[in-house]
Amino acid sequence: MLIAHQLGLSPRLLPLSIRFQPGQVTHLIGPNGSGKSTLLHLLSGLGTPEHGQVSIQDTAIAGLRRQDLAHLRGYLIQQQKPAFVMAVYEYLNLVIDSLQLGQVSARDAVVRRVCQSLSIDDKLHRRVDSLSGGEWQRVRLAGVLLQVDRQLNPQASVLLLDEPATGLDVAQQEAIYAEITHAAKQGLCVVMANHDLNRSLTHADNVVLLNQGRMVASGAPRDVLSDTRLSDVFATPLVQVSTAYGPVIVRVGEQADLNPPR
């Protein structure tokens, strides 16, 4: 379990308390500047809060060594350039070796599965500085997923992701969300910032809506993503519409296009 108790960093995030449950995916949503990245940074233990504390499995993370923290949680920040010039397989091995994760046989099977799932298995010998933005994003995500994979790291409890699907095409996004679901099924608390409201509606177990550093609401997606609340927070008229494929959030006036007359 991941717990934030009266966690705050003025003025970017006003004190809030929330529990994130194992095995569940929580989406942080809200306009730009609402506090999503700040909350993730504080939850990761890399940021220092002005108020409150964060604990993972009843252990306060303040003061933990970076190595110990890295065994408890993985954290994908929004943007990060390669720190060193190396091949993709060297980058992934660096993640595994630095944390001394898993036996060799288990490593190979998990690395193969993750790389195939994210379609980077044909890029393992490419230099990281030669990758496109989308390719590098998937390689970074692969590294974080390996860090917290329960087969390699039984201590792992939390996966934090800051807009992991940014800049990816539809197929790549599907692969990423499948891996996020897999991580949750392993028993991890997954908390991710997200801008796609419709993806939050269908993918998240829970949603936390932030605005101007304040937690507006949290709970089940259909409850939190109400017409009135979303329209108010995003300052644009939005409505949740039922379709043959499930609920969809659209701007008011666009809903007629979803069910054209026969």
21 lies in a domain? Answer: yes
**Confidence class for position 260, pLDDT limits 50, 70, 90:** low
261 lies in a domain? Answer: no
250 lies in a domain? Answer: no
DSSP 132: -
Q: What is the pLDDT of residue 3?
A: 96
pTM of the full structure: 0.93
Q: What is the pLDDT of residue 100?
A: 78
* Residue 113 domain boundaries: 2-225
**Confidence class for position 254, pLDDT limits 50, 70, 90:** low
Residues contacting residue 104 through CB under 8 Å, at least 6 positions apart: none
Q: What is the pLDDT of residue 53?
A: 95
Q: What is the pLDDT of residue 257?
A: 59
254 lies in a domain? Answer: no
Alpha carbon distances (Å) from 151 to 4, 22, 237 = 27, 16, 45
pLDDT at 179 over 70: yes
Between 84 and 77, the more confident residue is 77
Query: Residue 142, class by beta-carbon neighbours within 10 Å (0-12 exposed, 13-18 middle, 19+ buried)?
Result: buried
Reading the block at residue 94, the tokens are 């660096």
What's the CATH code of the domain at 202? 3.40.50.300
13 lies in a domain? Answer: yes
Strand partners, 5: 53
Between 81 and 10, the more confident residue is 10
Q: Stretch 64-85: mean pLDDT, rounded? A: 87
Question: Is-contact 115 154, C-beta < 8 A?
Answer: no
Closest to 19 measured CA to CA, from 4, 37, 40:
4
11 lies in a domain? Answer: yes
Question: Is-contact 25 221, C-beta < 8 A?
Answer: no
pLDDT digit string (tens) for 191-247? 999 999 999 999 999 999 999 999 999 999 999 999 999 999 999 999 988 888 888
Q: What is the DSSP pairing of strand 206-211 with strand 189-193?
A: unpaired
How many separate domains does the chain show?
Answer: 1
180 lies in a domain? Answer: yes
pLDDT digit string (tens) for 160-172? 999 999 888 999 9
242 lies in a domain? Answer: no
pLDDT digit string (tens) for 114-162? 999 999 999 999 999 999 989 999 999 999 999 999 989 999 999 999 9
Q: What is the pLDDT of residue 252?
A: 86
